[in-house]
Amino acid sequence: MAVVSLEKISKRYTGASGHLAVDNVDLNIADGEFMVLLGPSGCGKSTTLRMIAGLESITSGVLSIDGRVMNNVAAKDRDIAMVFQSYALYPHMSVEENLGFGLRRRKIDNAEIKRRVKATAELLGLADLLQRKPHALSGGQRQRVALGRAMVREPTVFLFDEPLSNLDAALRVNTRNELIKQHHRLRSTMIYVTHDQVEAMTMGTRICVMNGGRVAQIGAPLDVYWNPADTFVARFLGSPPMNLFNTQIASAAGGHLAENAFLRAPLMRWQSGTLQGMAGKAAIFGVRAEDLHLESDAVPGQKHGSIKGRAFAVEPLGAETLLLVETEPGVECTARLSRHLKVRPGDEVELVFPTEAAFLFDSGSGRAVGSDRS
């Protein structure tokens, strides 16, 4: 178990491009925490993980594990284990040899290696596969061997680099649950890289959303989901992504409004004082797809905002239906509605949402305007 600390960590690749892959990342991962690094391809999350692993040099900043500076410590001496996206099983070795490979290097007694390999194999349901070579295993079995190879070492920190990406959907859910179970059992510090928000939301104690090499936001999954720091996080977390619209802030009798040609939203989550300076100025207004309802389904008497447009696609998903609405040419809005939806493409619709479902972002920086009320 270990505390992992990244202080102003940067990575600039040498060479003609001099690409800055990771830029001033500050991150503290508590003992036993399951931290998920989440972001799109090329955001620097894997590079950050590889720097923690010691597979990538650190250009600047300090990396420490349990207070010990690790910048120049070799990967093998960091007491970490890593599970790779490709599993990285040694193809010429049996499952048993793969599991014991790291232990043999550490001059551990043969009987102890056998005991640990056997225990890990039994825990992960690999006991019958010990003599098989990786090519004779299914994707899920390979994944478990990769996990077992990390577990058998009993490291202080586990690193996962998109370990579920190569699995099919059903197996991914199973393995995800298996990982959560193992985390509860081992109580080890785990750092997990993914671009899949569902994995991040379901597995992480906290998530660290990265964009363009920088940390966009760190927090508990639901906290990040409901209080996104900027428009990037707001769009990246959530499927379908949050609807964002360019609006103007206007003063009205009952408070402030965000409005444009097709949208009108009372801003009840913010106190008047907060919005005073924004009156008459542009702002980005956001609302999540699941907070939108058809006007006919609105709760009578409740204050709500509204969006008008023309439905152009209806996507039934079984349990629910996605309604895609064009509010004005080039501007779209997605609503997650009941599976009994009667709307047809081409229909004019009015979508409503409760005032507490509103998000507001600065139109220049994209930063969230923090709400004063829940």
Distance between CA atoms of residues 276 and 270, nearest Å: 10
Min dist CB 369 to another protein, Å, is: 43
Q: Summarize as ranges the residues that interact with another protein (CB under 8 A).
A: 50, 53-55, 74-76, 80-82, 84-88, 90-92, 101-102, 105-106, 135, 149, 153
22: tokens are 């990771």
Among residues 82 and 275, whose Cβ is nearest to another protein?
82
Min dist CB 83 to another protein, Å, is: 9
Among residues 90 and 312, whose Cβ is nearest to another protein?
90
The answer to whether 236 and 39 are in contact (CB under 8 A) is yes
Distance between CA atoms of residues 371 and 374, nearest Å: 7
Among residues 75 and 250, whose Cβ is nearest to another protein?
75
Contacts of 213 (CB under 8 A, 6+ apart): 11, 20, 21, 22, 23, 25, 43, 44
Nearest to 89 by CA among 78, 74, 101, 80: 101
Distance between CA atoms of residues 337 and 356, nearest Å: 18
Min dist CB 140 to another protein, Å, is: 15
Among residues 22 and 82, whose Cβ is nearest to another protein?
82
Min dist CB 232 to another protein, Å, is: 29
Among residues 11 and 153, whose Cβ is nearest to another protein?
153
Min dist CB 101 to another protein, Å, is: 5
Min dist CB 86 to another protein, Å, is: 5
Min dist CB 56 to another protein, Å, is: 10
Among residues 81 and 337, whose Cβ is nearest to another protein?
81
Among residues 61 and 102, whose Cβ is nearest to another protein?
102
Q: Which H/E stretch holds residue 110?
A: helix 110-123
Distance between CA atoms of residues 57 and 51, nearest Å: 6
Distance between CA atoms of residues 122 and 168, nearest Å: 24
Among residues 82 and 167, whose Cβ is nearest to another protein?
82
Number of C-beta neighbours around residue 329 at 10 A: 5
Backbone angles phi, psi at 104, to 5 degrees: -60, -35
Among residues 175 and 231, whose Cβ is nearest to another protein?
175
User: Token match 């005032």: residue?
Assistant: 355
Report which DSSP code applies to 161.
E
Min dist CB 168 to another protein, Å, is: 16
User: Token match 């913010």: residue?
Assistant: 270
157: tokens are 């920190």
> Are β-strands 282-287 and 293-294 bridged in parallel, bridged antiparallel, or unpaired?
unpaired
The answer to whether 258 and 285 are in contact (CB under 8 A) is yes
Min dist CB 154 to another protein, Å, is: 13
Q: Which H/E stretch holds residue 10?
A: strand 4-12
